[in-house]
Amino acid sequence: MTPPRILCVQAHPDDETIWTGGTLARHCAAGGEADVVTTTWAAGQPRHRELVDALQALGLPREPIMLGYADGGVPTSSDLPPLVDVPFDDAVGALTRHVRDLRPDIILTTDAFGIYGHPDHIHTHRLCLAAAEAAAEPHLYLDAGAPWRVSSLYFVTVSESRSRQAWEQVMTTRVAGRPAEAEELMRFGTPDDRIDDVVDVRGVLDRKWRALQAHRTEFERSRTLRAIRALDDAAREALLGWECYLRRDLVGGGRALVD
């Protein structure tokens, strides 16, 4: 069977690599097609150019598509309003157009909690749900192309058991030596018995790590990324070497993410 076509929709440049980079690299290395839509940041901004470099490192053949709304934490990221302030129907229509144009079998995005509660992540999750449904409905967004039915949605999440120790190490490092409350260390995660798919990406971890390091301005800004860089190889593999998903099929049988 032909590999499924994947569309990865994430909120910010670097989300595509941290959460789904190994899946994308593995898929493209096996001859599959994949594209990335990023819901915030305007094309031409430094983080957009870093995202282009990251996708090249992952082996994606095309540059990312930017919806171009402002990052909720960085008003200068775009001349458009922040993502969460844009009329929902407008944003759904914009994403629906790309779904119909790219015709993916699978959409990857974050889980309903946005992995750790980030408003832009949560909003992007909701946009994906709405756009996947709308893309198949011929009476919606008549000017957004011919209808297309997505087979499956995969929501990336964090396994409570598999990643907890590594994430706690990262969070302990990022609080700059002060004691951290338990809820600050780990405010997210999905019980293992709820996780549908675990993708072992250790075979492409070098690509994923190169792609992550392409996001240079985020390493300058983000204590979390600097903490990941400070991990030893074993801890970094434990953190980044598996990608966990919740699966929702939109058609009978859906499409498998990994054969």
Which tokens belong to 202?
Answer: 């250790």
Q: What string of pLDDT tens digits covers the 259 residues of the chain?
A: 799 999 999 999 999 999 999 999 999 999 999 999 999 999 999 999 999 999 999 999 999 999 999 999 999 999 999 999 999 999 999 999 999 999 999 999 999 999 989 999 999 999 999 999 999 999 999 999 999 999 999 999 988 876 666 677 776 665 554 444 444 445 678 999 999 999 999 999 999 999 999 999 999 998 888 888 988 898 889 889 999 999 999 999 999 998 7
Which tokens belong to 93?
Answer: 């229509």
Q: Tell me which residue of 81, 118, 91, 115 sits closest to 37, measured CA to CA.
A: 91
Cα 209 from Cα 203, distance rounded (Å): 12
pLDDT of residue 178: 47
Q: How many CB atoms lie within 10 A of CB 179?
A: 7
Q: What backbone phi and psi angles, to 5 degrees, belong to 185?
A: -65, -40
Which tokens belong to 18?
Answer: 């941290």
- Percentage helix, strand, coil for the chain under 3-state DSSP, each rounded to 5: 50, 20, 35
Judged on CB neighbours under 10 Å (0-12, 13-18, 19+), 221 is: middle
pLDDT of residue 223: 85
pLDDT of residue 102: 98
DSSP state of 64: P
Cα 246 from Cα 158, distance rounded (Å): 10
Domain residue spans of the chain: 6-164+189-215+243-249
pLDDT of residue 90: 98
Cα 23 from Cα 35, distance rounded (Å): 12
pLDDT of residue 10: 98
Judged on CB neighbours under 10 Å (0-12, 13-18, 19+), 136 is: middle
Q: Tell me which residue of 102, 103, 100, 107 sits closest to 140, measured CA to CA.
A: 100
Q: Check: CB of residue 239 under 8 Å from CB of residue 231.
A: yes
Q: What's the pTM?
A: 0.93
pLDDT of residue 34: 98
DSSP state of 127: H
Question: In CATH terms, is domain 6-164+189-215+243-249 a member of 3.40.50.880?
Answer: no
Cα 52 from Cα 60, distance rounded (Å): 9
Cα 83 from Cα 71, distance rounded (Å): 7
pLDDT of residue 127: 98
Beta-carbon contacts of residue 160 (< 8 Å; ≥ 6 apart): 189, 190, 191, 192
